[in-house]
Amino acid sequence: MLGNRESLSKNVHFIGVFDPKIRIFDIIMKTANGSSYNSYLVRGSEGVAIMDTVKKEFSSDFFVRLEALCKYEEIKYIVLHHLEPDHSGALIELMSKAPYAKLIISGRAVMMLKGLVKTDIAFEVASTGKTISLGDKTIEFLSTPFLHWPDTMSSYLHEEKILFSGDVFGSHYYDERLYDDEVGDFSYAFKYYYDHIMRPFKHYVLEALKLYAKFEINTIAPLHGPILRSNPQFYIDKYAKWSSEAKFRKHQFGKKMVSVFYMSSYDNTQKMAQKVMQGADKVEGVVASMYDLASLDEQNMIDLLEESDAIIVGSPTINGDAVKPAWDLLSCMAYLESSGKIGAAFGSYGWTGEAPEMLHDRMRWLKFRLPVKPLKIKLIPTEDELMDCVAFGQEVAEITMGKMVEMEI
Ligand code: FEO
């Protein structure tokens, strides 16, 4: 029933499913080319391991592929590299069919398992260095947390030199030709996936790459999109580069970046922004910049936020709220690491002036360090108030440079 294409090798087979029509994944990701939920079957002399399952609504295709290759009684292990439903959706049904299968999950997955499956199931925990045996096949586990779920792990099939990487190295790219050397050009999907899924965890990516480097890898078998067999190192190098590159400004000048983002209705918040920036720029070792949110697209926002050591957001208050572009800016932090960045908020207002405090609170939830109180000024700033803006920017910049103060005001 299965052609050769589904066989990564004599003993390892693709049993995943295709979702060509999906156009938005996980609410935030556009998937112009659809996607796949990859699952793999590994056969050894003493049994079979199933590496992840698929999204629940596609499980019938998954079971057809699986049944063509093994009997349920042969399944010795079911490995879930993380518990997200697009890969655990068929778990309960599979466990009910496979009487001798033992579930393998990471330690971090234990707390999540019951919440996901709503029943008690037996499992075994794997961490770095643990191995399972299928007789003539050995699978070794690697703890690679936060890529992109806290419980993520990877595994390596020694005899075939295959890395089961979880979502790492994935692409939302449906193509039944399966392999990177046979499918269409998926380079944009590979980068887009990295940017939206892995980029917030780039330090964890680098840790995972160190673990992967201990193994000779012939094939990377990710959970979405093409299987990477032509030159795995090419993709590893891409991840290494994207996760470690310094942004060009920092790289060029070695200074701390303080960025002032603002929107203004009647130039009042804009005048404040100008002074905040001037105050920040007075500090030795800092380069301050300002950006009108009215004209920044999302990718620019993400790049600037990533590059910035301190992010100061200015918004007028309209109908008791900050303006939408300010919220859009902060929503971009979903794609980035925010802990450690300095945050601050300001704005001019006419009646109630909630916006700076609302933005300040939002940044607190995003784990910014917040050393100064929000600054708000009623309508047109006076000369004295503009000097307060200078002092505000200067204080944020000095703290960014290491001045010691109490955080979380
Ligand atoms: Fe593809 Fe994190 O699930």
Q: Is the pLDDT of residue 324 over 50?
A: yes
Query: From atom 2 of ligand 1, which residue's Cα is the shortest distance away?
Result: 84
Ligand 1 mean position, distance from CA 258 (Å): 34
Q: Which two tokens stand for residue 167?
A: 């979502």
Query: From atom 3 of ligand 1, which residue's Cα is the shortest distance away?
Result: 84
Output the pLDDT for position 336: 85
Residue that is written with structure tokens 């392999």 in the block: 179
Say which DSSP state 227 is in.
Answer: B
Please identify, by atom number, the ligand 1 atom nearest to the C-alpha of residue 223. 1
SS3 state at 340: coil
Mean pLDDT of the chain: 93
**Which residues touch 122 (CB under 8 Å, ≥6 apart)?**
102, 103
Domain boundaries, the chain: 3-244, 248-400
CB of 149 closer than 6 angstroms to any ligand 1 atom: yes
Output the pLDDT for position 25: 86
Q: Which two tokens stand for residue 221?
A: 């078998």
Chosen CATH of 248-400 out of 3.30.505.50, 3.40.50.360, 1.10.3720.10, 3.40.50.300:
3.40.50.360
CB of 52 closer than 6 angstroms to any ligand 1 atom: no
Strand 219-222 versus strand 256-262 pairing type:
unpaired
Residue 406 pLDDT class (50, 70, 90 cuts): confident
Output the pLDDT for position 97: 97
Output the pLDDT for position 226: 98
Output the pLDDT for position 29: 84
Q: Which two tokens stand for residue 54?
A: 């698929």
Q: Left, alpha or beta for 407 (phi > 0: left; psi -120 to 50: alpha)?
A: beta
Residue 248 φ then ψ, to 5° = -65, -35
Q: How far is the CA of 296 from the CAs of 147, 258, 275, 315, 329, in angstroms?
A: 29, 17, 20, 15, 9
Output the pLDDT for position 1: 36
Output the pLDDT for position 26: 81
CB of 76 closer than 6 angstroms to any ligand 1 atom: no
Residue pLDDT, tens place only, 164-184: 999 999 999 999 999 999 999
CB of 22 closer than 6 angstroms to any ligand 1 atom: no
CATH number of 3-244: 3.60.15.10
Please identify, by atom number, the ligand 1 atom nearest to the C-alpha of residue 152. 2
Ligand 1 mean position, distance from CA 204 (Å): 16
Ligand 1 mean position, distance from CA 317 (Å): 38
Give the global pTM: 0.82
